[in-house]
Structure 1
């Protein structure tokens, strides 16, 4: 089984690089402290006042209900596909720790970082460091963070720590992992920060959260639990797409949904 999955992951790494390269995007590896994080960015992008950063989901965290994966590289990197559909020309992609890396690039890659500690403080700090490097590279002044699934949690937790995030957008985002694990009877993410607990620091961040009405992986209860935490001030905007699930049909509709997000 591991050999078969390893072959699929290698094929997916090559496929992702090919899709990005075909679109004129170039890979770079960012030194983010305990991890080396992979990014893709348009080759022609030089300077932009506002940089949109797409953050990948959890990827292949588990092979089955009891067996964690050896490598969390996503078989379907949906956040990358969303980034490639962004019409602004000022979007970049950021993978999660241990995704798309091999050999010495896999430093710090303990299984806990795609299971119980997937949103650990050191993960958020490393991801924010990588984003800062991208911001400096493109001389950006402000950021838009777009997170898919578990990448939505990372995006929210980063936005809670920074003061340069002008908009937070999530797609099927894991914004309250305690509700998520309770709903699906999964192991608690005991080593992870929870975005819902950071609601006070997110009050000033304009945000919209897209949810699929048919999503059996990250249901509406997760984002509603998050929104309910905003006891004062305006609650975050939630947009439910009745026929969408965890994977369909975000990429196809993405330019239109960006318009709804004011981007």
Structure 2
């Protein structure tokens, strides 16, 4: 590695608190009646949690962030499973009848079940074509035919929510929380190398322009600053996309505590003048 990738480390290190990430995930999921399962896709075996109580109602599906991608500033971790699964914490706080959560490739799932897992998939290729395709298959696994899907993504999961929405016709809304909606610009801001093997949500802003969406940013976020969501909304050229800056919140703040309040902000398409 030619130089330390500070921003990628910051995006990937959600540190603190838990010696056993799998147990921590179960402790989040069980009180919310979210059941763990493995999802086999063409590229990866993914770990998901879900509560599907009323098939006639929409599904809200959460996508995890980049997780514990870096062990040090220069050394990728051997396991990207987040020490604190903030995406799962958001899902556990959602009272909707139908809630699902999908971890990113190589998170939570035993490595021996994912022969393709390598550090590239939690560093440079975290938003690669095969990653997006696998995550999209996981959405299809949970969504019944004709069921509206609300996508929610935390951090890098926000990028995947947008990239997945651009491929589907059943997405009713998009919400991102501290979403990395333009990794090229984020890396430029931090003076680190680009990720040419990863797709960029910014490149499909126009493709999702007709989907109601709201992008939440922490006012104190120095990892993915609010300007990234603002750039994305501007690029979409639509009145269906909005940003909301949340005071007092940084990238890894307690978004779970704020989530019930933020869920009340419904994405809509506003009318022109």
Q: TM-score, normalised by structure 1?
A: 0.90
CA RMSD, 1 decimal:
1.8
Alignment counterpart, residue 172 of structure 1, candidates 174, 178, 187:
178
Quote the offset at 1:197 in angstroms: 0.7
Determine which structure has the larger helix proportion and give its number: 1
Quote the offset at 1:106 in angstroms: 2.4
Give, in whole Å, the separation in 2 of the partners of 1:45 and 1:35. Answer: 27
SS of the equivalent of 1:251 reads helix
2:213 touches 2:241 (CA, 8 Å); kept in 1? Answer: yes
Which residue matches 1:80?
88
1:216 touches 1:245 (CA, 8 Å); kept in 2? Answer: yes
Which residue matches 1:133?
141
Quote the offset at 1:46 in angstroms: 5.2
Give, in whole Å, the separation in 2 of the partners of 1:262 and 1:220. Answer: 18
Cα distance change, pair 35–10 in 1 and its aligned pair in 2 (3 A): farther
Number of equivalences: 252
Cα distance change, pair 207–108 in 1 and its aligned pair in 2 (3 A): same
Alignment counterpart, residue 157 of structure 1, candidates 163, 169, 187:
163
Give, in whole Å, the separation in 1 of the partners of 2:75 and 2:222. Answer: 20
Could you give the per-residue CA deviations for residues 32-52 of structure 1, whole angstroms, max 9, x where no partner exists? 11100110112x625243100
Give, in whole Å, the separation in 2 of the partners of 1:13 and 1:221. Answer: 34
Could you give the per-residue CA deviations for residues 16-57 of structure 1, whole angstroms, max 9, x where no partner exists? 123312432210000011100110112x62524310000000
Could you give the per-residue CA deviations for residues 201-240 of structure 1, whole angstroms, max 9, x where no partner exists? 111111000000101111112212212312x432620000
Give, in whole Å, the separation in 1 of the partners of 2:38 and 2:78. Answer: 20
Structure 1: runs of 5 or more not aligned: 1-7
Which residue matches 2:238?
233
Equivalence map 1:190-205=2 (5 Å): 190-205=196-211
